[in-house]
A = this chain, B = another copy of it.
């Protein structure tokens, strides 16, 4: 096990009906808040108005930053920062999916900057030194943003979708009410499951330390649980137990626990997917499903041990030799993606071989910032993409 530091101070308020506590949870942090939301669905369902009512009951004044899109944009982050500065806002409340939460974090960090632009955090020109308190109420089980310090934002001008993180960006409190996810349609439920599984599998495969039996078993337990819960949620969207399992498991999948001690690792599938989703407007989880089996095939050529171990422990694959077991494990994962209605290669999302060049050129920008453009050079990313094509 490698040396590590671990701390996750987010307070989780979890359960049926807990969303109604939003006013009481927010009030100790301030009475003048920015409410960040996404597109129309929350307003249509009436939940948006109920949240406004719960906040107003506690005497909280609300400014809106609504209409946040998938692949959330830096221009909307700038809008939020402007509102905060104009109105002396003290707290940022995110009510929505990963895009909404990440926008809220970027706004909270950007509004606390003394100089420079919030995009500097993503290009790593600056480091987040402080941020307004962020509180989240996720309405999708997927990104884990509700229990970590990461954020991913797109600059629509340069066409770069970049991630960064800071201990200052952990939400102070996250209210996880599984009933808010009842209306998530089957495709996005599946994409959420893929996202959470991918958060677990990327460090599982490419952490450099082979002596991580504890981290491996935690990840495998979460993966098995998320697979079962994803299927159950698709079959019965209002099954509370499955939605609850899905919500808590996807938070734990990227809360730092399964990565602590595995050594210096990366998220290469997320890296490449960010290029896919920014250039082709694909849903994040769909992009991951199209890429993960291909990346695994590329990776397993030299590193078959962990894919084989996954195969044995999740699907009972054995007796095929190390590379045969790794291959069977990748096939099993691809079949699972197919079974929950997800794409399983780039063809399935309309991307062709002639697109690989510009995808790789886009992705390598993030690889350079992460310091991994040796392993993930343009040429190597194209090699990965070739395995993902069909």
Contacts and interface: CB of A to CB of B under 8 A. Distances in A.
Contact of A9 (B7, B15, B252, B257): B7
Contact of A221 (B16, B18, B221): B221
Contacts of A1: 14-15, 241, 244-245, 248
Contact of A260 (B7, B14, B16): B14
A103 B220 CA distance: 37
Nearest to A255: B257
Nearest to A246: B214
Contact of A15 (B3, B13, B249): B3
Interface stretch (A132-140, A222-230, A298-306, A372-380): A222-230
Contacts of A260: 12, 14, 248
A2 interface: yes
Contact of A5 (B13, B214, B252): B13
B9 A5 contact: no
A4 B14 contact: yes
A220 B257 CA distance: 16
A228 to B, nearest CB: 7
Interface in A1-34: 1-18
A217 interface: yes
A276 to B, nearest CB: 30
A261 B7 contact: no
A184 interface: no
A4 B8 contact: no
B221 A225 contact: no
Nearest to A11: B7
Copies of chain A in the complex:
2
Contacts of A8: 8-9
Given A1-B245, A5-B11, A222 B228 contact: no
B6 A14 contact: yes
Nearest to A13: B5
B2 A6 contact: no
User: Chain B CB within 10 Å — which of A5, A8, A214, A261 has the most?
Assistant: A214
Interface string A152-179: 0000000000000000000000000000
Given A213-B245, A218-B221, A6 B12 contact: yes
A211 B245 CA distance: 9
A7 B12 contact: yes
Nearest to A213: B225
Nearest to A212: B245
Contacts of A241: 1, 211
A248 B261 contact: yes
Contact of A10 (B4, B7, B222, B248): B7
Given A7-B11, A11-B5, A244-B1, A217 B211 contact: no
A12 B249 CA distance: 22
Contacts of A220: 221
Given A214-B249, A218-B221, A4 B11 contact: no
Closest 7 CB pairs of A and B: A3-B15, A217-B221, A9-B9, A7-B11, A1-B244, A6-B12, A221-B221
11 contacts: A3-B15, A4-B15, A6-B11, A7-B10, A7-B11, A12-B260, A213-B229, A214-B245, A217-B221, A217-B222, A218-B221
Given A5-B13, A257-B257, 11 more contacts: A3-B14, A6-B11, A7-B9, A8-B8, A211-B244, A213-B229, A217-B221, A217-B222, A218-B221, A218-B222, A220-B221
